[in-house]
Amino acid sequence: MTTKSTSKRKKQAIQRPSSPGVNLLLTLTLVPLVAGLILIGAWALDISIFEDAQSQVTVGILFFLLSFAASNALQKRWRLATGWSLLMCADLVILAWRNVAAQVAAIVLGVVGLVFLVIEFYQQYQQGKLEKAKK
């Protein structure tokens, strides 16, 4: 019985309440998410906001990744923020340069970003598995 109360105390000590400023910034990270959703939705409905339809999708994905990276950075989840940021950089390279060398660089950035995300998600999965085993 005492182990449960100590684990609850540890969780409460780790989870500090965030300030109103951080909460406001976290809420503002939804703006690029909604912008990306609008761009991709418009593309799906054949509404052209940009001249190039492919660029419209790429910019929509860029906004999604920006939202994820900013949100995780504000929550101090550095590995996730790094992974999303690297994927965002890969998307920017694809958007800015349309040659083979740039696309190879974008693939490398994307793979490194995915490695960061996979490592973090796997660690969270293992941690959740351990917590369920303790209960």
pLDDT in tens, 35-53: 999 999 999 998 888 888 7
Q: Which two tokens stand for residue 92?
A: 């920017």
Residues counted in the chain: 135
Q: Where are the alpha helices (DSSP H) in 15-134?
A: 20-28, 30-44, 53-74, 78-96, 100-134
In the chain, how long is the greatest CA-to-CA distance?
A: 64
pTM score, whole prediction: 0.75
For the chain, what is the radius of gyration of the CA atoms? Answer: 19
Summarised one tens digit per residue, pLDDT across range 54-105 is 888 889 999 999 999 999 999 999 999 999 999 999 989 988 888 898 999 9
Which position has the token pair 């796997």? Answer: 122
pLDDT at 13: 45
The contacts of residue 63 (CB under 8 Å, 6+ apart) are: 32, 33, 35, 36, 39
Most confident region among 7-16, 56-65, 112-121 by mean pLDDT: 112-121
